[in-house]
Amino acid sequence: MKAIFKFVFLLLIISNASSQQTRLAKSQDLNNAYNIQDSVMIKTRDGALISAIVVRKKGDFTPKPVIFQFTIYVTEKGTGIKSLKLAADNGYVGVIAFARGKRFSPNEIFPYENEANDTYDVIDWISKQEWCNGSVGMYGGSYNGFTQWAACKKMHPALKTIVPYVANRPGMGLPMENNVFINPNYEWSFYVGNSKYLDTIAGNDRQRFRRMQFKWWETGVAYKKMDSIDGYPNRLFQKWIKHPSFDDYWQKMAPYEKDFAQINIPVLVIDGYYNDSQNSSLYYLRELQKYNSKANSYLIIGPYGHFGAQTGGTPEINGYKTDANALINTNKITYEWFDHILKNGPKPEIIKDRINYQVMGANEWRSAPSIDKMSNGFLTFYLTDYKSGKFYSLNINKPDKKSYLSQEVDFKDREHSNNDYYPDPIVRKEIDTTNGYIFVSDPLKEPLLVNGSFLGEIKASINKKDIDIGVTLYEVMPNGEYFHLAYFIGRASYAKDITKRNLLMPDSIESISFSNTHLVSKQLNKGSRLLITLNVNKNPFSELNYGTGKNVTEETIKDAKEPLKIKWYTDSFIKIPVWK
C-alpha cells in the first residue's frame, strides 16, 4: 500500500514538473516571438536623453505603423511590455518612451515642462527607423493623455492620430481647478519625482498626507508651508504654486488658443462623467472645435471615473450601479480606431457621430454632432429668497425686485467646513444643510434629459477682495434620494480671465460667471426635482482664500480677522442644458 502511495506521489511530482516546464517553454516561446529592445536611448535637440522600449514581431521586417506611448509612469519590472506586445500582436510596432529624468535618462525630472518638445523629438526619431512606415499613432490615459496633446503643440508630420483618455491639462484641473489649488497633486509630485521609477512608498502613504493637510487646516499656516508641515521639501509643489494664473508657464506645456488651429489629425477622446480631471480633458476638445471648426474629433463618454474610463468602466462607481450597457472595452475600441485611421479599416461601431455618450438611467447610448448639440435648450433657474419646504426655491422667472440672502463665513473657525461638492457617494440619502444655501425646483411634470455642462452667473457682494465659490447640481429623485450630477469650484477673481487676476471691489455687486463644469448625461424621471447648492469653498482639501487680495498661498489664519460677509443676489441664475 505504501509503495502505491509513493508511486502516485512520484507521478504527481513528475506531472507537476512537466507542467511547469511546459508553461516555461510556452512563456519562452511567447517571448521568442518578439524582438524587444528595452534600453533604447533617444537624444533630444537640447541634448537630453529619453529612455525608450521598442517591441516588434520577430522575423517581420515589413515597415509598419507605430503605436507610441509617452509616460512619466515607470516601474522597475515589466514597464509597458504587455501593452507593447499587444501593439505587435495587432500588426504594429510598439514604442513606449519615458519622460526625461525617468528610467535610464540621466536628466532631472520636471513633470509637464518638456513634453511638448520631447514627444516631437521621439516621434521624429521613430519616423526615421527602418521598421516605421512613416505613420505614428498615440494613445493612453491621464498623464499619457496629456503627452498626446503636448505632441500636438507642434505637429510632426508623422503623427497621424491620437487617442487620449481622461487627459490632464496642467494648470487646469490639476494642480489647480479654475485657479484654486487642490491637494491631490501634492503627493503625486513625490510619487513621480522622487526617483527614476515610482516612489510607491510615498505614493501609497495616504495617512501621511492626510495628517499633513489636516494639520495645515487646524493650525492655519500659509498654504505654501505645506511641505514644512510634511517635513519633506516639495520642489515641484513650490514651483507650481508660484503660478496661480493660467500664465505662460502653463500655456507652453500643451496647445493654447491658436495652436489648436493646426491640429488636423483625427482625434478620439475617451472620458467619464466622474473623472476628476474631466474639465482638463474636455478643454482640449472644446478649444479644438473652437479654433478648428473642421477638426476631425470624436468623444466617447459615460459614467466612468478617472481609472474606469481607461479600462472601460466598472459595474459600480462611488456607490452608483451603472447601467448594463455602460461598460465598454477601451482597449478594443482603441485598436479598432488605429485600424480605421492607419489601415483603412471600419470605424469602431460605438462611434455614431462626433459625440457618443451613455445616458445614465436610460440604459442607452446617444450621439450628437458636437457637445453644444447634445442639448436643444436650457432650463434657466433664478435663485430666490423664498422658502420651498426646508430649502429655497429655484424659479424660472427673473425676480421683479432684486433682493439677497446673507451668509457669513468665519475663516478662523476650524470646527466647520464648507462646500461638500465631491461626488462620493453619487447617490446619497442626505446632503449637508448646515452651511451655504440650497435651492430646489418644482417637481418635473414629465421625464427630462439633462445633457451637457451646466453654467451660470452668480451676483454677489462681499466685504473682502476675493472669494472661492462652489456650486453643485443634484437631481432629487422621487424617492427623496440625491443624485450628484455635476459641480463647479472656482476663484471669483479669475471668473473673467483665467490668465489674469481681477480682484473684486468690496461691498460692490459683482457678476461671477462660470461654465467650466463637469459634463453629464442623466435621464430624470417625472416627479424629480433639480437642486443647486451654493457655498463658499472652505475645507481641508484645497487652499483657503481669506479674501485679502494677497497671494492666496501666503495668507494665514491671521488674515481671517473679520468674517467674510456675503450677499447672494436673487438675479443670480443657473442654466442647465437639456434635451426635450
Phi-psi domain of 477 (left: phi exceeds 0; alpha: psi -120 through 50; beta: other): beta
Fold for 377-579, please state it. Answer: Jelly Rolls (2.60.120)
The letter for the amino acid at 446 is: E
For residue 175, whether the previous peptide bond is cis, meaning omega lies within 30 degrees of 0, is yes
The letter for the amino acid at 510 is: E
Which grid cell is 132? 516605421
Domain with CATH 2.60.120.260 in the chain: 377-579
Taking every pair of Cα atoms in the chain, the longest distance, rounded to a whole number of angstroms, is 101
Model pLDDT, residue 580:
87
The pTM score is 0.93
Model pLDDT, residue 453:
98
Q: Which residues of 210-237 are buried (b: 16+ CB within 10 A; e: fewer)?
A: eebbeebbeebbbbbebbeebeeebebb
Distance CA(10)–CA(17), nearest Å, equals: 11
Distance CA(139)–CA(66), nearest Å, equals: 11
Of 83, 149, 81, nearest in space to 120 by CA: 149
Distance CA(462)–CA(510), nearest Å, equals: 9
Which residues of the chain, if any, have pLDDT below 70? 1-31
Model pLDDT, residue 78:
73
CB count in 10 Å sphere of residue 37: 11
Task: Tell me the CATH number for domain 33-173+247-374.
Answer: 3.40.50.1820
The letter for the amino acid at 211 is: R
Q: Are 273 and 303 in contact (CB under 8 A)?
A: yes
Domain with CATH 3.40.50.1820 in the chain: 33-173+247-374
